[in-house]
Structure 1
Amino acid sequence: MAFESGNFDATLAAAAGEDPALLAELRVAFAESVARQIDLLKRSRCDANWELAAQRLKGVAASFHADSLIVLAQEAVDAAPGEPTVVRRIEAFHREFVGGSD
């Protein structure tokens, strides 16, 4: 799933205004938050931890209006805990975002 930046970029632009340093800081904060939730998903050893990490990821995605990540996070919520295909798709989203943010 490709990273679609339309709503995400508009959200960041509205928050950062004309401040490029703030814009960069927000992008880093988003990437770090996503990475943290991926790590928690991968380390989940019970249904409750998986659900919590998936819901937090969905919250991060929603707060930044990252529509494609919202869909992926919902897939994690709906999936069996530890579902590797879901984690791989979320990791691919993160890699594409980080690679495309330079």
Structure 2
Amino acid sequence: MAFEAGALDATIAAAAGDDPALFAELREAFHASAVRQLDLLRRSRCDGNWNIAGLRLKGLASSFHADQLLALADEVMDAAPGEPSVLRRLQVYLDGFAAAD
């Protein structure tokens, strides 16, 4: 899955205005939060923890208009805790996001 900045970067740009430092800070905050949720998903051993991390990921994606991440969060919500294919796709997305800096 290739990372597409589109609406995500437009949302961050709208919030940051003409401040490139704020843009970079918001982008990093988004990435750090998504990485944190992926870590929680990887460590989830029950439905409750898996669902909480998935819902947080979904909320993050919705807040930033990150359509690809929202689709992945929906996959998380439909998957069993620890589903490796979902975790791999999330990692690929986050790697692509980090590389797009």
TM-score tier after normalising by the smaller chain length: over 0.9
Quote how far apart the aligned CAs of 1:2 are: 1.7
Cα deviation, 1:2-38, whole Å, max 9, x if unaligned, reads 2111111110111000000000000110110000000
For the residues of structure 2 that align with 1:18 and 1:43, how far apart are their CA atoms? 39
Structure 2 unaligned spans of 5+? none
SS at match of 2:4: coil
Map of 1:44 onto structure 2: 44
* Cα-Cα RMSD: 0.6
For the residues of structure 2 that align with 1:47 and 1:37, how far apart are their CA atoms? 15
Structure 1 unaligned spans of 5+? none
For the residues of structure 2 that align with 1:24 and 1:74, how far apart are their CA atoms? 27
Quote how far apart the aligned CAs of 1:40 are: 0.1
The count of aligned residue pairs is: 101
Counterparts of residues 1-102 of structure 1 (less than 5 Å): 1-101=1-101
Identity of aligned residues (%): 61
For the residues of structure 2 that align with 1:76 and 1:95, how far apart are their CA atoms? 18
TM-score, normalised by the number of residues in structure 2? 0.97
- 4+ residue segments displaced more than 4 Å: none
Quote how far apart the aligned CAs of 1:87 are: 0.4
